Every structure is written in C-alpha cells, then in structure tokens.
C-alpha cells in the first residue's frame, strides 16, 4: 500500500491516543456539542449524501433519505437527548455490607475503529459513530470500498465536524482496512459478512481488542396456517423488497426507482444462486429477470425450494425471496435450529402457544412477531446478532454501553 497512507494511519492513531485523557474527562455537555457538530454537518450535506449513495447503488431517493440520512439523524439526536441519563453512575448497593455501596460507572473504551458495509453504507457507519462519540471515545472510520462516492461525502462530513484527534476517516481499498486492523485499537465495530467478521476478530485478538460484529446470514420467516396470508405477504414483500423499487408491469423495471446490485461480482454471485435453485427444481412464481449490463434483478419469488439449494445456504443480498413449505411447526423449528443462528427471526401467528414455542425453541439476534424488519428502528431494543450472525448489539442505550466499559466500584462505609 501507499507508504504515505500507512504513515498517516500511524500518525492519526498516535494523535488520538494522546487525546484519550481529555476524552475520558469529557462531560455530557462537551460530548453533546460534538454530536451537534456531527448533526449539523449531516444536515448541511444531506442532499449530497443522498446523491452519492444513489450514484453508488442507484437506490430510490426517498428510501435513501428515510433510511440513510434521516436514520443517521435520528441516531445522533437519540444519543444527544439521553446522554445525561446514560452517563450518570448507577447505584446498585452492596451484598457485602449494608453500610457499603456499589456503583456502576461508564467509561469510554478508548480508541475505536468503525468499519462500515456497502448495503446501507452511510447510516450503518454513522449510527455506530454517534454511539462511540456519546460514550466518550475517539474513532477512526472506514466505509466500504464498494461505495466510494458515499465514502467521499462521508469524509467531507467527518472532516467538517471533527478534529482528527476526535474522529478521522480513511478511504481506500482492502489494504487500508488491513493496515487499520493492524493497529492496537481498544474496540473494533464491524458491520459486514460473517467471513470478513472472522478476519476482523482474528486481527482484534492480536491486541485483545474487544469487538462488535454486526453480521448477517439467513433470517427465517414462519407463517402460521391460521394467519392472514395477505397481511403477512404484504409485510414480507416490503421487508424483502424495500430497496428494490417498483415494476411498471410484471416484466419491466422502473430503473429510476430501483436499486442496482452493488457490483458485477455480487450480481454474478446472486445469478449463480438463482441458476442453481432452478436447476435443482425451484420454480419462478414471479420475476426472475436479470439484466447483467445494468446489474438489475427484478423482484423474484421462488417456490419448490429445498434445503440443498445454495440459495438456502447463503445470504442473498438481492430481491429474491425463496419459499419453503412445512407441515408441522416443529419441522420449521428443527430446520432453523440445525443451521447457523440467524440475525433475525420472524413469526406470523395469532396463536400465542405457537409464538412462545418458536421463541423458546430457537435462538436469533432479534425476533419480530407479526411484522418484519421494524425491530431495527426501535431504539428501545438492542440490535445485534448471535455467534455467526454477530457479537454485541447497539441502538439507543445499548450502543452507548457497547462503546463503554461498565466499571463496578465498591465503596466501603467510612468509620
């Protein structure tokens, strides 16, 4: 890699390390002032951010605005509004003596690295950054090299809002991320694939850095036979195809409202998954139109899907919905538990006994009953995976805690 970039990474890391004493002593007001600068920069450049993301992946304008910029703004404001409460020491008493006391204090983890993904390149990098700042950390940020236009505008926002010793950003290819991972960060926050998550965790282990890994995998959805199928279908379609835009008819895509697959490699990967399913007996109930020149895949529904198909073994990251049938709820639960733990699990049912059975006999990062995806926007709930779908969680107070060390303080009674 460029030796100048390598030297610059080391320079910024040293600069942020030197600033740790100041950051650790920062008050809620000082942190809120930094978050306000962050908010002002995002707001001032909102249209440029939206346009950059649209150039990278051609997402529909209103979808980008709602999820990427307004989602980031919501996360920043949530941290600002709750900072005093979250930072305050919590008295827990003492089990040793009724005259002693115990207190939980929240101190920043220190130097943090935030590595973002390509699917929601701005919000899934900036929302964790807001939590890191709220918790009193410094941060170095790198967005995905698949979305370089978004990375450029993110650099503008960060450099406008922060001094380098507070927050810095580096752009570039995989070699830049590799060099960053070689530094002894106190905490690393990564959003992306399970395979890359393993690389991040291996790098973190060299320095005993703590990690938050927001990964993925399959998110199974169970529909009970007694549930309104049309209601479930509408919600699942929105959740699955939310970025995928609209069809002018069953065979024509309105490309002004339709997301591209991020690059040729991922387009070919998805096409291979689809072809494998068709070869093994799956049927295209809807869609199935692939435009390699434009990297566009029409919203597609597959039936007659079986577990041996590759499309049931890999995360798809494309508007293809595979459907399988089950006879008994235990059959569906067994299928889920025999595989990697999902990031999310959904169950549609009015039968509380069945709902309880599913929730108690499966494990997943999150679960939603009678809806999909919306749990991600609820800041009262922690968002994250489990094992192969992730380690740690964030959103709301959970993000503040993820970037904090919860220190227990024993206070002996004075004589």
Kindly report, residue by residue over 171-223, the tens digit of the pLDDT: 999 999 999 999 999 999 999 999 999 999 999 999 999 999 999 889 999 99
pLDDT value, residue 305: 97
Structural tokens at position 414 = 């004075």
pLDDT value, residue 376: 94
C-alpha 366/C-alpha 97 separation (Å) is: 39
Closest CA to 370 of 261, 265, 188, 228: 228
pLDDT value, residue 243: 61
pLDDT value, residue 127: 98
Q: What is the DSSP string of 295-314?
A: TEE--EEEES--TTSGGGTS
Question: How many of the other CB atoms lie within 10 Å of CB of 9?
Answer: 20
With a cut of 70, say whether residue 241 has pLDDT above it. Answer: yes
pLDDT value, residue 57: 87
Closest CA to 346 of 323, 369, 374, 320: 369
pLDDT value, residue 128: 98
Supply the DSSP symbol for 292. Answer: T
Residue 68's SS3 state is helix
With a cut of 70, say whether residue 231 has pLDDT above it. Answer: yes
pLDDT value, residue 356: 98
pLDDT tens-digit map of 4-17: 899 999 999 999 99
Closest CA to 165 of 11, 361, 336: 11
Closest CA to 403 of 34, 36, 45, 23: 23
User: What burial class does residue 404 get, using C-beta atoms within 10 Å of its C-beta: 0-12 exposed, 13-18 middle, 19+ buried?
Assistant: buried
Q: What is the mean pLDDT of residues 371-375?
A: 95
With a cut of 50, say whether residue 30 has pLDDT above it. Answer: yes
With a cut of 60, say whether residue 248 has pLDDT above it. Answer: no
**How many contiguous H segments (helices) and E segments (strands) does the chain have?**
15, 19
Closest CA to 164 of 148, 141, 136: 141
pLDDT value, residue 247: 46
pLDDT tens-digit map of 289-308: 999 998 999 999 999 999 99
Backbone CA torsion sign across 318, 71, 108, 384: negative
pLDDT tens-digit map of 298-349: 999 999 999 999 999 999 989 999 999 999 999 999 999 999 999 999 999 9
Closest CA to 96 of 338, 408, 351: 408
Residue 46 CA to its chain's centroid (Å) = 20
C-alpha 383/C-alpha 395 separation (Å) is: 6
**Residues of the chain with pLDDT > 70: what percent?**
96
C-alpha 103/C-alpha 412 separation (Å) is: 11
Question: How many of the other CB atoms lie within 10 Å of CB of 86?
Answer: 19
CB 123 within 8 A of CB 198: no
Backbone CA torsion sign across 371, 372, 374, 378: positive
With a cut of 50, say whether residue 37 has pLDDT above it. Answer: yes
pLDDT tens-digit map of 251-266: 556 666 678 888 999 9
pLDDT tens-digit map of 48-64: 999 999 999 888 899 89
pLDDT value, residue 242: 76
C-alpha 218/C-alpha 235 separation (Å) is: 17
C-alpha 287/C-alpha 357 separation (Å) is: 34
Closest CA to 393 of 352, 364, 368: 364
C-alpha 273/C-alpha 284 separation (Å) is: 13
C-alpha 296/C-alpha 267 separation (Å) is: 8
C-alpha 185/C-alpha 141 separation (Å) is: 12
Q: Which residues contact 79 (CB under 8 A, 6 or more apart)?
A: 35, 130, 131, 133, 134, 399, 400
In the chain, what are the domains? Answer: 3-215+389-411 (3.40.605.10), 221-377 (3.40.309.10)
CB 196 within 8 A of CB 174: no
As a whole number, the mean pLDDT across the chain is: 94
pLDDT value, residue 2: 81
Q: What is the mean pLDDT of residues 30-46?
A: 98
Helix (H) or strand (E) holding 104: strand 101-108
CB 272 within 8 A of CB 294: no
């Amino acid at each position: 890699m460029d030796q100048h970039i390598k030297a610059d990474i080391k320079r910024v890391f040293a600069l942020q390390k030197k600033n740790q004493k100041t950051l650790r002593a920062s008050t809620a007001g000082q942190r809120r002032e930094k978050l306000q600068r962050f908010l002002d920069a995002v707001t001032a450049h909102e249209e440029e951010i939206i346009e950059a993301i649209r150039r990278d992946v051609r997402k529909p304008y209103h979808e980008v605005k709602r999820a990427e910029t307004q989602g980031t703004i919501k996360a920043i404001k949530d941290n600002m509004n709750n900072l005093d409460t979250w930072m305050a020491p919590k008295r827990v008493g003492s089990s040793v003596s009724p005259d002693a006391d115990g207190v939980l204090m929240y101190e920043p983890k220190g130097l943090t690295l935030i590595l973002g993904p390509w699917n929601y390149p701005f919000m899934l990098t900036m929302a964790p950054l807001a939590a890191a700042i709220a918790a009193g950390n410094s941060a170095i940020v790198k967005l995905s090299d698949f979305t370089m236009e978004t990375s450029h505008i993110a650099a503008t926002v960060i450099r406008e809002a922060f001094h380098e010793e507070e927050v810095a950003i580096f752009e570039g290819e995989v070699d830049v991320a590799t060099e960053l991972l070689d530094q002894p960060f106190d905490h690393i926050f990564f959003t992306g694939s399970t395979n890359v998550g393993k690389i991040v965790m291996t790098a973190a282990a060299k320095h005993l850095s703590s990690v938050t890994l927001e990964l993925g995998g399959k998110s199974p959805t169970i529909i009970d036979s007694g549930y309104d199928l049309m209601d479930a279908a509408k919600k699942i379609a929105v959740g699955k195809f939310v970025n995928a835009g609209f069809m002018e008819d069953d065979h024509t895509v309105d490309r002004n409202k339709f997301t591209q697959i991020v690059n040729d490699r991922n387009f070919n990967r998805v096409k291979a998954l689809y072809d494998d399913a068709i070869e093994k007996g799956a049927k295209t109930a809807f869609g199935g139109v692939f435009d390699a020149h434009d990297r566009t895949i029409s919203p597609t529904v597959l039936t007659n899907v079986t577990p041996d198909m590759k499309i049931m073994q890999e995360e798809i990251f494309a508007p293809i919905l595979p459907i399988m049938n089950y006879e008994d709820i235990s059959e569906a639960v067994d299928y889920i538990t025999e595989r990697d733990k999902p990031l999310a699990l959904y169950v549609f049912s009015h039968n509380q006994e069945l709902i309880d059975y599913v929730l108690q006999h499966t494990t997943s990062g999150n679960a939603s009953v009678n809806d999909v995806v919306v749990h991600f926007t609820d800041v009262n709930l922690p968002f994250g995976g489990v094992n192969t779908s992730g380690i740690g969680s964030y959103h709301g107070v959970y993000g503040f805690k993820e970037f904090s060390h919860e220190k227990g303080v024993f206070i002996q009674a004075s004589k």
